[in-house]
Amino acid sequence: MFIVHVFVHVEKDYIEDFKQATVENARQSLLESGITRFDVIQQQDDRTRFVLVEVYRTYEDPARHKETEHYQRWRDEVAHMMAEPRTSVKYFNVFPVDEGWE
């Protein structure tokens, strides 16, 4: 598994718009064969901060995801909502074993 945490800081006037667009992107992403999990979480003490938890089957799948229509639509739709550029951290899976993500 190839796991990516995307850290997002949104302008406060766009919190609900960002959530709506991002949940739709997550729903569509879960239909991709290369994605096993796509969580959208919001920080409790700062509602303008989110983390997207993306779990891919292979190292090639994030690039495939970025080629999809729904990702490109989301990227363009939320671009003006950002308080700062998105950042990400990539992880190796430790536990559960890869089959546990199914």
pTM: 0.93
How far apart, in whole angstroms, are the C-alpha atoms of residue 27 and residue 46? 24
Please provide the DSSP assignment of 7-55 as one string. EEEB-GGGHHHHHHHHHHHHHHHTTSTTEEEEEEEE-SS-TTEEEEEEE
**Which one-letter amino acid corresponds to residue 21?**
A
Q: Cis omega before residue 62 (within 30°)?
A: no
Chain segment 61-88, per-residue pLDDT in tens: 999 999 999 999 999 999 999 999 999 9
Chain segment 10-42, per-residue pLDDT in tens: 999 999 999 999 999 999 999 999 999 999 999
Does 94 score more than 70 pLDDT?
yes
